[in-house]
A = this chain, B = another copy of it.
Amino acid sequence: MPEIGIGILGGGYMGKAHSVAMSSVGAVFNTKLRPRLEMICASSPESAERYRKAYGFARATADWRKLVADPAVEAIVIATPQELHKEIAEAAFAAGKPVLCEKPMGATLEEAEDMVAAAEASGVANMVAYNYIRTPASRFARNLIASGRIGTVTWFRGEHTEDFYSDPESPASWRTTGMANGTMGDLAPHMINAALALVGQVESLVAEVETVHSERPGGTVTNDDQAQMMCRFSNGAMGHLFFSRVATGRKMGYAYEIMGTKGAIRFDQEDQNAVWLYLAEGPEAERGFRKILTGPAHPDYEPFCLGPGHGTGYQDQIIIEARDFLCAIETGEAIWPTFRDGLEVNRVVQAAIESSRDKAWRSL
């Protein structure tokens, strides 16, 4: 079983998730390439060493250049703050190493464009880490739409809402400064990516982006708390998206509803193992949204459990993502979403910010 040396940059929230995923993806999916936890990089030698021990890496470093250059590191996962994405990715591509990069790709649209150029110039595997769309449930939803099961899509509503900043007395922090850490930088990309995957390209939009609580204990808030946009998809569907970190009561409100001429789909990540499907067929008296529990009949579920309804969780999405990344490396085939696919998300984010600033519709 050929091994592949993995280097992960960042050991916090996502760095841990990727580390665990790389530990178990082989056993779960019986992958051809087997990850070897080669090196982890964090902001200081101490934290890097702490992560190394905790996650079981062979080596640690506080110098990302060292990790990228190390010959035993054969694939790179970028889970650093967004400000560093571009520089690291470009170095990795220059060294001919495949990159899985946390969303969104760069801190700005320009950076994202540069990253796409670097990725495509390198010709190696490149992927943006949009994990939520990889659940068996959302993959099933995509398949249903793509196969025409709900007819022509006429309406899409999506949201990514959480409430970790809903209390106005929660103090200011690094999260409350820097566009990349606001709702449009942190939460919106996930649901925009979902909208693109489920319905298709966005043609035009009008948006509002706002800071609800501009002052918090400890400082002024300089990025956005919530945002919404109305949009028109290229295929004609009408859409609405909402993003918030002040959505009181919402913990993991990655949710969408999609209406078509023959059916409808509803999904909420807070109950991530269910897809609600309505089909406009059969006797009127027997129609209703059905709660379908994911199981071996749905994409990517069976490797986790043979029993339907037994459920996958957050970590499992990252494992699926790791499988896809390994597969792209092994086969040399592009796997969605590549950096180019990811760029589309950044374009929508940028257009939304400009629309809000100008209080006007914008075309993409």
Q: Contact residues of A with B, CB < 8 Å?
A: 1, 13, 16-17, 19-20, 23-24, 26-28, 30, 34, 53-56, 140, 150, 154-155, 157, 162-163, 166-168, 206, 208, 210, 212, 226, 228-230, 232, 238, 240, 242, 244, 246-253, 259-264, 269-274, 277-280, 283-293, 295, 297-298, 304-316, 359-361
Chain B residue at minimum C-beta to C-beta distance from A272: B311
Partner of A13, one of B24, B155, B162, B306: B306
How far, in whole Å, are A157 and B248 apart by their CA atoms in the complex?
Answer: 13
What is the bound-complex CA distance between A27 and B278, given in angstroms?
A: 35
- 13 residue pairs A–B, Cβ–Cβ below 8 Å: A13-B306, A20-B27, A27-B56, A155-B247, A206-B206, A206-B230, A248-B262, A249-B287, A273-B313, A290-B291, A304-B315, A307-B314, A360-B360
Query: What is the chain B residue whose CB lies nearest that of A261?
Result: B168
Please classify the interface of chain A as helix (H, G, I), strand (E, B), loop, or mixed, using the class held by over half of its residues: mixed
Most B CB within 10 A of own CB, among A20, A150, A157: A20
Q: A206-B206, A238-B228, A252-B311 are in contact. Are A291 and B293 (CB under 8 A)?
A: no
- Complex Cα distance A311/B304, Å? 15
Which residues from B are CB-within-8-Å of A1? 53, 56
Q: A228-B230, A272-B311 are in contact. List 6 more A-B contacts (CB 8 A).
A: A13-B306, A34-B56, A140-B285, A155-B246, A248-B264, A274-B288
- 5 nearest A-B residue pairs (beta carbon): A251-B309, A313-B313, A249-B278, A252-B309, A290-B290
Q: Kindly list chain B residues whose C-beta atoms are within 8 Å of the C-beta of A262.
A: 248
Known: A56-B34, A238-B210, A240-B240. A292 touches B286 (CB 8 A): yes
Contact A251–B293 (Cβ < 8 Å): yes
Q: How far is the CA of A298 from the CA of B168 in the complex (A)?
A: 24
Contact partner, A288, options B20, B226, B287, B292, Cβ 8 Å: B292
Are the CB atoms of A314 and B305 closer together than 8 Å?
yes
Task: Report Cα–Cα, A263/B167, bound state, in Å.
Answer: 10
- What residue of chain B has the Cβ atom nearest to residue A34's Cβ? B56
Evaluate contact between A166 and B212: CB separation under 8 angstroms: no
Cross-chain contact A228 with B252 (CB below 8 angstroms) = no
Q: Which residues of B contact A286 (CB under 8 A)?
A: 277, 279, 290, 292
In angstroms, Cα B251 to Cα A246, docked, is: 30
Measured in the bound complex, the distance between the Cα atoms of B277 and A308 in whole Å is 18
Contact B238 A226 (CB under 8 A): yes
Residues of B within 8 A of A250 (CB): 264, 309
Q: Is the CB of A312 within 8 A of B310?
A: no
Contact of A252 among B240, B288, B293 (CB under 8 A): B293
Whether A248 lies near B278 (C-beta < 8 A) is yes
Chain B residue contacts of A56, Cβ below 8 A = 1, 26-27, 34
The answer for the CA separation of A308 and B250 in the assembled complex, in Å, is 9
A81: min CB distance to chain B, Å: 16
Chain B proximity of A332: nearest CB distance (Å): 23
Contacts of A291 in B (CB 8 A): 288-291
Measured between beta carbons, the chain B residues less than 8 angstroms from A230 are 206, 208, 228-230
